[in-house]
């Protein structure tokens, strides 16, 4: 099993070091994993003048799975858009056809106090956002900034989804719902947008093939509200690229920290890229205070979804639960009754708990 490891920028390299440590521990126990490293994002730009260097894309294509840290940094914010780190991420998702983005939001009982919501609202939370990842406003043409008829600058992007794009991600959502609580809520804005109207129609059609899954529909504004009002009403949330981007950040905070959540981005054949849902956090980079658990849990998702190594994935997830139960906390989830550790110490603790 070959893994392309792309640490990226900011805290990416330090959190990735910890995930690699954990994978190495499994390799010592006989897991046949091979890891190869390559730059992406700002690191790609620095190394090869491109946020997605050709060699990195080649490696990602050859590998069976990709493990990514995070991209982005203030240093790159003034580059022309195609050279910016975020474009490296968007391009690799598109090039590898990773249309189904799985973003779980799971609350660890011990972290209920780290959420800004009341413990009774979030305790026991276990929801999965399935976000479409290769279409929508992010990729729709035409797009740009031009001078309009009135002679002023005008920015425009296009929200568009074809039927087949909706259909394939809807299947992903229903299949995941079948393995979970068999409830799927499709989120869009069909009261205003034609794209959403089609989205709803196609989801209803696909839903007929999954009669055991209870399908509901919700407008995105209401969904944003319901997520903080009563998040436990949701099992699987299926939504488009832009809405999923926003809702998944919101959902992450229900669990206390965006530093705890991994994600999987899958193609038709379950080849995938795995990354923490947090960003590169340049303000805390290099200080050994970042939370590596989201990246470690992303590695567990990789073992589960791409390699079907449920046992190895369970081992990592159990080890993470154990260090949390031991009271070890990075700054983002620290409360005064716990023990504060740095990024590397947290990685070591997970390895010890394995
Ligand atoms: C995410 C991020 C990315 C996105 C950015 C960095 C391009 O916010 O993965 O959610 O918008 O998809
Ligand atoms: Mg985002």
User: Per-residue pLDDT tens for 210-246?
Assistant: 999 999 999 999 999 999 999 999 999 999 999 999 9
Question: Which of these is catalytic: 138, 210, 274, 305?
Answer: 138
Catalytic residue list contains 314:
no
Q: How far is the CA of 86 from the centre of ligand 1 (A)?
A: 7
Report whether pLDDT(293) > 90.
yes
Among residues 292, 266, 307, the alpha carbon closest in space to that of 22 is found at 292
Q: How far is the CA of 138 from the centre of ligand 1 (A)?
A: 10
Decide whether any atom of ligand 1 lies within 6 Å of the 20 Cβ.
no
Distance of CA 88 to CAs 120, 122, 285, Å? 40, 35, 20
Decide whether any atom of ligand 1 lies within 6 Å of the 294 Cβ.
no
* The ligand 1 atom nearest the CA atom of 90: 7
- CATH fold of 100-266: Isopropylmalate Dehydrogenase (3.40.718)
Report whether pLDDT(257) > 80.
no
Is 27 in contact with 352 (CB distance < 8 Å)?
Answer: no
Same fold for the pair 1-99+281-354 and 100-266: yes
Q: What is the mean pLDDT of residues 92-105?
A: 96
Task: Please give the Cα distance from 93 to 206 (Å, whole number).
Answer: 24
pLDDT at 100: 98
Please, which residues have CB less than 5 A from ligand 2, an ion? 245
- Global pTM reads 0.92
User: Per-residue pLDDT tens for 323-332?
Assistant: 999 999 999 9
Q: How far is the CA of 25 from the centre of ligand 1 (A)?
A: 30
Give one DSSP letter per residue of 46-68, joined into a string.
HHHSSSS-HHHHHHHHHSSEEEE
CB atoms within 10 A of CB 225: 12
Report whether pLDDT(50) > 80.
yes
Decide whether any atom of ligand 1 lies within 6 Å of the 245 Cβ.
yes
Q: Minimum mean pLDDT among 117-126, 134-143, 168-177, 192-201: which range?
A: 117-126
User: Out of 3.40.50.10140, 1.10.287.3510, 1.20.1250.20, 3.40.718.10, which CATH number does the structure's domain 1-99+281-354 have?
Assistant: 3.40.718.10
Domain boundaries, the chain: 1-99+281-354, 100-266
Task: Please give the Cα distance from 131 to 112 (Å, whole number).
Answer: 25
């Amino acid at each position: 099993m070959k893994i392309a490891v792309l640490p990226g920028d900011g805290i990416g390299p330090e959190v990735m070091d910890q995930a690699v440590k954990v994978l190495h521990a499994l390799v010592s126990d006989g897991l046949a994993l091979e890891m190869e490293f390559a730059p992406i994002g700002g690191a790609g730009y620095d190394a090869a003048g491109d946020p997605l260097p050709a060699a990195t894309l080649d490696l990602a294509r050859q590998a069976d799975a990709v493990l990514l840290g995070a991209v982005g940094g203030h240093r790159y914010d003034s580059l022309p858009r195609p050279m910016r780190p975020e474009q490296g991420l968007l391009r690799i998702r598109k090039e590898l056809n990773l249309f189904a983005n799985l973003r779980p939001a799971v609350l660890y009982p011990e972290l209920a106090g780290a959420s800004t919501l009341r413990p009774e609202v979030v305790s026991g939370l276990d929801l999965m956002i399935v976000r479409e990842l290769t279409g929508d406003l992010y990729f729709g043409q035409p797009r740009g900034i031009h001078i309009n008829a009135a002679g002023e600058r005008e920015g425009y992007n296009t929200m568009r989804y074809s039927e087949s794009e909706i259909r394939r991600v809807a299947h992903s959502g229903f299949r995941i719902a079948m393995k979970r609580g068999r409830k799927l809520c499709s989120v869009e804005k069909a009261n205003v947008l034609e794209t959403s109207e089609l989205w709803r129609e196609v989801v209803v059609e696909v839903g007929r093939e999954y009669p055991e899954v209870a399908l509901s529909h919700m407008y995105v504004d209401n969904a944003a509200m319901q997520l903080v009002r009563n998040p436990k009403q949701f099992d699987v949330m299926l939504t488009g690229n832009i809405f999923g981007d926003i809702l998944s950040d919101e959902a992450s905070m229900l669990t206390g920290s965006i530093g705890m959540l991994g994600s999987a981005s899958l193609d038709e054949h379950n080849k995938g890229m795995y990354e923490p849902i947090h960003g590169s956090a340049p303000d805390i980079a290099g200080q050994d205070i970042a939370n590596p658990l989201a990246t470690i849990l992303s590695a567990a998702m990789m073992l589960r979804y791409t390699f079907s190594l449920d046992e190895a994935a369970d081992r990592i997830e159990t080890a993470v639960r154990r260090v949390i139960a031991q009271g070890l906390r990075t700054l983002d989830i620290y409360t005064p009754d716990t023990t504060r550790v740095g990024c590397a110490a947290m990685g070591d603790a997970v390895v010890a708990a394995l």
